[in-house]
Amino acid sequence: MTRPRTPPASETPATPLQWTAAATDYLIDAWQRSVLYADIRRQRGNQYRAHLQEKVPNVLQFEAELVMSGQDLPHPVNYGLVRIIPGDDVKIDPTKRPFIVVDPRAGHGPGIGGFKPDSEIGAALKAGHPCYFVGFLPDPVPGQTVEDVMRAEAEFVRKVAQLHPDSLGKPAVIGNCQAGWQVLMTAAVWPELFGPIILAGAPLSYWAGKNPMRYAGGLLGGSWLTAMTSDLGAGRFDGAWLVQNFENLDPANTLWTKQYNLYAKVDTEGPRYLGFEKYWGGHVFLDGGEMQYIVDNLFIGNKLATAELVTSDGVRIDLRNVRSPIVVFCSYGDNITPPPQALGWITDLYRNDADVAGHDQTIVFATHDSIGHLGIFVSGSVGRREHREFAANIDLIDLLPAGIYRAEVEDREGNPADDPYLLKIRRSGVDEIRAIVQPDPASERRFAAAARVSEINLALYRNFAQPWVRALSTPLSARWLQALHPLRIGYEWWSDLHPLAPAVADLAEQVRAQRQAVDEENPFWQLQQRAATAIEYMLDRYRDHRDAIYALTFDTLYGSPALQALAGQSIHDQNPPRQHPGDTPEHRAYIASEQARLQAELVQGGLAEALVRGLIHVLEARGETDERIFHCTWQLARPHLEQAGNAGAIMAAFRALIRRQARLVQHAPDAAIAAIAQLVVDIPEQTRQDAAEFLDTLVRQTGAPSPQEARRLKHVLALLQPTPGRSRGRRPNKARD
């Protein structure tokens, strides 16, 4: 007898026989999917075990060679510097600045910055830049510290600069996630080594925003648990606990969506799933003291954003000392490092735009609407768009004057095949950052109380419990605790070592040969999809209620006057819990001396200073710039740079010239522009005329000037013309001129 026909996708079964046929098709498909799902999970276990046996486990998709090992340094660390070997289809320009991608040590192994061809490394290579990668071994050097890692990273950047003496700029460094704060701390101590710094999904202000993870330290009583975990690990902190925290943020994805997505797309999803799980399951370790420093001073103490950290040799780690442009790339879809945590350090350090300019610091930020945390590093769409534009226009970013800017990547008109995107940079400010961060003094007081309670609990643990825990912990007990971690068990229990694995593998081969996939319009398949959606929705609602309870509990506990009093806070004290770093007498004296120096430089310089000052004044009216302006200027300047011998030194001088003149225009716009006539008073008339024509051509090549730009341009051109009776030694007199 012939089996009843399964109705077409557009039809609903109308008879019992058709319903039976649809159910049969679904059950066969469900059985086969279950077998294939189990087999892919078996492969995941095999992959996990093989990954652990690698000498330097990583997920880099690019060939690399070791350049420098951190284990050979005076203060050894488990980090290393490798050079990315470009493929045959990639052409590297040796004069372009090198890129260094630094991966985070946040529980996972290295390689996320080069996990796909369309990644940070891939974007830098496609732009023609030499590329390097900083990764790490699974085990730390016993006793290594955060300062040791900073010293190693400084040596890596110094080494790359030495390998590229003909580069037009200092190395550009990308810090991913936790590597971002590490890179920025290093640049604050050794600012002379760094070119532009790109921070991708990097947390720097840990009390900001609404991220539920920020409540964890307070709800657990502080960092005593970190110390106990390290003690139980015989001096090592198991990074699997950090990964567990990430897993807990999204229980729907952890417990259901990720597994169901593999099951539902088992015929095609296997390779992508295994590739990601190789990274996600590559757990690494941190030294106990190293992790304690991070939790006490950053996660709970939040001391980095207000310059409260001091190195062992007395150097204050002040992010305002960074002289390189800082590019912050974050996303509203990131539940690990949302924009407030990525940008909050700016409002912590700076009260207004004049404060930013006074420290000669350039900050560029870009936000994405929806991409998740890992998507910032591994999403192909982000790699092809944002990261490629950052890499292709890194020299433009390096020339930006002091201030805060917002970068946006737009579709280029006409969508040309060579570069379909256009990077636009517009002037922003502290107020726009503040609107994103939304600082909350009351919330800061609660977190300050939690930090003080953490210090008390840590001291109690160290004085009364730590000696006993350390006495009872051995390397053998530490290995058993690590092996029994819930995340590791999930990888280790099901692999070829399991007695049922060979049978499942053989059965999976038979299923692939006789695969009968059900139609997606099958009513039972649709019922399964609706059930999956309902389960995901239920887990999301559980997460939302759980996070709301966490926030309410934290605010109630640490907002109580009694606990705040125990933490040393008075309800009558309205001062912020963290002193603003600009309030010290030394800082006020520094700002006053800078203002005096700028005032003296208003009438210093010659034709080059006058042209740059005039160009900045005209383009300021536009309010934004894009890569076309830079390319136009670069084409005019490059022949002169190539004839100058050391092009890198000339480029550095060109950058210093632009930034200095921009600061003068910001400091005293009217006086700085009026002084142009005085700067060129000794220049021959024909030279001034040629300079005026050059400036006019340059402005018009970057686009038709607006009425305001045209007025400014006309004024600057007039100042470049000779004026009888003006001498170089006389200062401008507003009443006379």
User: How sure is the predictor about 733, in pLDDT bands with cuts at 50, 70 and 90?
Assistant: very low
Is residue 386 in some structural domain? yes
Backbone angles phi, psi at 424, to 5 degrees: -115, 140
66: left (phi over 0), alpha (psi -120 to 50) or beta: beta
C-alpha dihedral sign at 588, 591, 597, 603: negative
pLDDT for res 632: 60
Written as six digits, the tokens of 495 are 């692999």
Strand partners for 99: 131, 172
Pick the more confident residue, 113 or 224: 224
Range of the domain at 339: 64-205+302-411
d(Cα 299, Cα 215) in Å, to the nearest integer?
10
Cβ neighbours of residue 516 closer than 8 Å, sequence gap 6 or more: 25, 28, 29, 32
Cβ-contact 158, 193 below 8 angstroms: yes
Is residue 1 in some structural domain? no
Written as six digits, the tokens of 523 are 């009513």
| Element of type H or E holding 366 | strand 362-368
Pick the more confident residue, 615 or 71: 71
| Element of type H or E holding 422 | strand 421-427
Q: Could you tell me if 406 and 307 lie in one domain?
A: yes
Is residue 220 in some structural domain? no
Render 143-182 in DSSP notation, one character per residue: T--HHHHHHHHHHHHHHHHHH-TT-SSPPEEEEETHHHHH
C-alpha dihedral sign at 380, 374, 57, 487: negative
| Element of type H or E holding 678 | helix 676-679
Written as six digits, the tokens of 162 are 């030495």
| pLDDT exceeds cutoff 50 at 415 | yes
Cβ-contact 462, 225 below 8 angstroms: no
Written as six digits, the tokens of 182 are 């590490």
| pLDDT exceeds cutoff 90 at 681 | no
403 C-beta neighbours (distance < 10 Å), count: 20
pTM for the full model?
0.89
Cβ-contact 680, 614 below 8 angstroms: no
Bridge pairing between strands 99-102 and 172-176: parallel
Is residue 16 in some structural domain? no
Q: Could you tell me if 475 and 590 lie in one domain?
A: no
Q: Could you tell me if 494 and 604 lie in one domain?
A: no
- Percentage above 90 pLDDT, the chain: 55
| pLDDT exceeds cutoff 70 at 644 | no
pLDDT tens track for 442-458: 999 999 999 999 999 99
Nearest in space to 732 (alpha carbons), one of 607, 599, 633, 534: 599
d(Cα 180, Cα 197) in Å, to the nearest integer?
9
517: left (phi over 0), alpha (psi -120 to 50) or beta: beta
Question: DSSP E strands: which ranges in 34-78?
Answer: 64-69
| pLDDT exceeds cutoff 80 at 637 | no
Q: Could you tell me if 538 and 606 lie in one domain?
A: no
Q: What is the mean pLDDT of residues 390-409?
A: 89
Cβ-contact 173, 394 below 8 angstroms: no
Nearest in space to 103 (alpha carbons), one of 159, 56, 40, 142: 56
Cβ-contact 652, 642 below 8 angstroms: no
pLDDT for res 730: 41
d(Cα 29, Cα 162) in Å, to the nearest integer?
60
Nearest in space to 722 (alpha carbons), one of 690, 676, 685: 685
Q: What is the mean pLDDT of residues 724-737?
A: 41
CA 417 and chain centroid, separation:
28
Strand partners for 133: 82, 101
Is residue 465 in some structural domain? yes
Q: Could you tell me if 616 and 516 lie in one domain?
A: no
Pick the more confident residue, 598 or 82: 82
Question: DSSP 3-state assignment of 28?
Answer: helix
Q: Could you tell me if 480 and 613 lie in one domain?
A: no
Residue where a domain terminates, one of 384, 411, 438:
411
Bridge pairing between strands 421-427 and 285-287: unpaired
Q: Could you tell me if 596 and 480 lie in one domain?
A: no
Cβ-contact 300, 217 below 8 angstroms: yes
Bridge pairing between strands 64-69 and 79-84: antiparallel
* Whole-number Cα distances in Å, 652 to 252, 602, 643, 649, 658: 51, 21, 15, 5, 10
Q: Which of 43-57, 418-432, 655-669, 722-736 has the lowest mean pLDDT?
A: 722-736
**To the nearest 10°, the Cα dihedral for 282, 285, 286, 287?**
-170
Written as six digits, the tokens of 11 are 């039809």
Question: DSSP E strands: which ranges in 618-707?
Answer: 624-626
Cβ-contact 202, 175 below 8 angstroms: yes
pLDDT for res 90: 87
Q: Could you tell me if 515 and 589 lie in one domain?
A: no
Question: What's the whole-number average pLDDT of the chain?
Answer: 87
Pick the more confident residue, 241 or 1: 241
d(Cα 570, Cα 572) in Å, to the nearest integer?
5
pLDDT for res 383: 65
- 582-605 burial string, b = 16+ CB within 10 Å, else e? beeeebeeeeeebeeebeebbbeb
Q: What is the mean pLDDT of residues 397-408?
A: 90
d(Cα 433, Cα 352) in Å, to the nearest integer?
10
pLDDT tens track for 341-390: 999 999 999 999 988 988 889 999 999 988 888 888 877 677 678 888 88
Pick the more confident residue, 736 or 376: 376
Q: Could you tell me if 620 and 707 lie in one domain?
A: yes
Written as six digits, the tokens of 144 are 């290594």
pLDDT tens track for 197-247: 999 999 999 999 888 888 988 999 999 999 999 999 999 999 999 999 999
| Element of type H or E holding 364 | strand 362-368
Is residue 470 in some structural domain? yes
Residue where a domain terminates, one of 500, 532, 567:
567
Question: DSSP 3-state assignment of 24?
Answer: helix
Alpha helices by DSSP H, listed for 301-439, are 339-349, 353-358, 375-378, 380-382, 388-392, 394-398, 430-437
d(Cα 211, Cα 300) in Å, to the nearest integer?
14
Pick the more confident residue, 660 or 546: 546
Is residue 247 in some structural domain? no
Q: Which of 94-108, 388-402, 580-594 has the lowest mean pLDDT?
A: 580-594
d(Cα 247, Cα 213) in Å, to the nearest integer?
11
User: How sure is the predictor about 646, in pLDDT bands with cuts at 50, 70 and 90?
Assistant: low
Q: Could you tell me if 182 and 316 lie in one domain?
A: yes
Pick the more confident residue, 635 or 449: 449
Q: What is the mean pLDDT of residues 428-441?
A: 94
Q: Could you tell me if 483 and 623 lie in one domain?
A: no
Question: DSSP E strands: which ranges in 178-324?
Answer: 197-200, 236-238, 285-287
pLDDT for res 697: 80
| pLDDT exceeds cutoff 80 at 505 | yes
pLDDT for res 621: 77
CATH number, residue 70:
3.40.50.1820
Q: Could you tell me if 168 and 312 lie in one domain?
A: yes
What domain count does the chain have? Answer: 3
Is residue 573 in some structural domain? no
